[in-house]
Amino acid sequence: MPGLTIGDTLPDLVVETTHGKIKLHDYVDNAFTIIFSHPGDFTPVCTTELGMMAAYADKFAERGVKLLGLSADDVESHNEWIKDIEACNKGSKVTYPIAADPDRRIIKQLNMVDPDEKDSSGQQLPSRGLHIVGPDKKIKLSFLYPASTGRNMDEVVRVLDSLQRASKHKIATPANWKPGDKVVISPSVSSDEAKQMFPQGYDAVELPSNKDYLRFTNVD
Ligand code: BEZ
C-alpha cells in the first residue's frame, strides 16, 4: 500500500511537541500547514534547515501558514537542540513546535521514513520529508529528500505561493514560475469560461496543433 501522498487526508494524530500535545487537525485548523521531518537532532544539515525555517517564519506567517517540525528524538532533546539552532542562525527564534517520535509511530503514518538511514540501535530514521497540508486537511504537495540533501526554503515559499494561487483561481503555475510571473489557465476551463473567469484577459499562444490550451494570464 502506498504511503500518505497528495490528495490523502492527514491522519488526525495526537503528537507530543515542544509546545505540548498537539492534535494535528486542530493544529491545521483552517490554515495551510507545513509539516517537515528531519533525520535527527544535533546533526549539521538539520541544524541549518531548522534555523532557516526559523529565519523564514515571517514569510510563512505573512501567508497565513503554520509550521510543525518533526524528528524521532524526544522533546527534551529538541529543547536542548533549539539552543544550538538559535545560536548558529543569527538569533532567529524557533517559534514553531517540533514534534517528538521516539517510537516512530508518526513518521510511519506520515510516510516520512528514510529506508537508508538507521540510528545506532538500528531503528528507522525520518527522511527530510515535507508535506504541505491544505485548510481541508488534505496533502497538497510532498517533498522527500535524503539525509544528504538540505532543502531550499525559497522553493518551499515558491510552491506555497503557487498552491495558494491555485486554491483561489482555476490556474496552474508553469515551469520556473515565481510570484509576479504570468500563470496559465487550467486546461479544464473552456475558452468561454476563461473569458468570464479572467476579465483581465489572457494571451493564448499560437501553436502548430492549433489547439488553444496554453493561455497566460495574471492573478494575485
Ligand atoms: C545532517 O543533518 O547533517 C545529517 C543527518 C543524518 C544523516 C546525514 C546527515
Best residue for ligand 1 mutational test, from 46, 70, 120 (most atoms within 8 Å of Cβ): 46
**Cα 39 to ligand 1 centroid, rounded to whole Å:** 6
Q: What does the alpha-carbon distance between residue 213 and residue 207 come to, in Å, rounded to a whole number?
A: 9
Q: What is the pLDDT of residue 142?
A: 97
**End-to-end Cα, the chain, rounded Å:** 39
Query: What residues does ligand 1 touch, defined as CB less than 6 Å away?
Result: 39-40, 43-46, 117, 147
Q: Examine the residue annotation and report whether 46 is marked as an active-site residue of this protein.
A: yes
Contacts of 12 (CB under 8 A, 6+ apart): 23, 24, 25, 137
pLDDT in tens, 87-110: 998 879 999 999 999 999 999 999
DSSP for residue 205: P
Collapse the DSSP code of 90 into the 3-class scheme (helix H, G, I; strand E, B; otherwise coil) and give the result: coil
Q: What is the pLDDT of residue 1?
A: 40
**Cα 147 to ligand 1 centroid, rounded to whole Å:** 5
DSSP collapsed to 3 states, 18-36: CCEEEEHHHHHCCCCEEEE
Give the angle 28-33-35 at the CA atoms, nearest 5°.
105
- All three cell numbers of 200, joined, read 483581465
Complete domains list, the chain, with CATH: 14-151 (3.40.30.10), 169-217 (3.30.1020.10)
Q: What is the pLDDT of residue 2?
A: 60
> With left for phi above 0 and alpha for psi between -120 and 50, is residue 213 left, alpha or beta?
alpha
**Cα 188 to ligand 1 centroid, rounded to whole Å:** 43
pLDDT < 70 stretches in the chain: 1-2
State the amino acid at position 91 in one-letter form.
Answer: G
Q: What is the pLDDT of residue 90?
A: 80
**Catalytic residue from among 24, 35, 46, 139:** 46
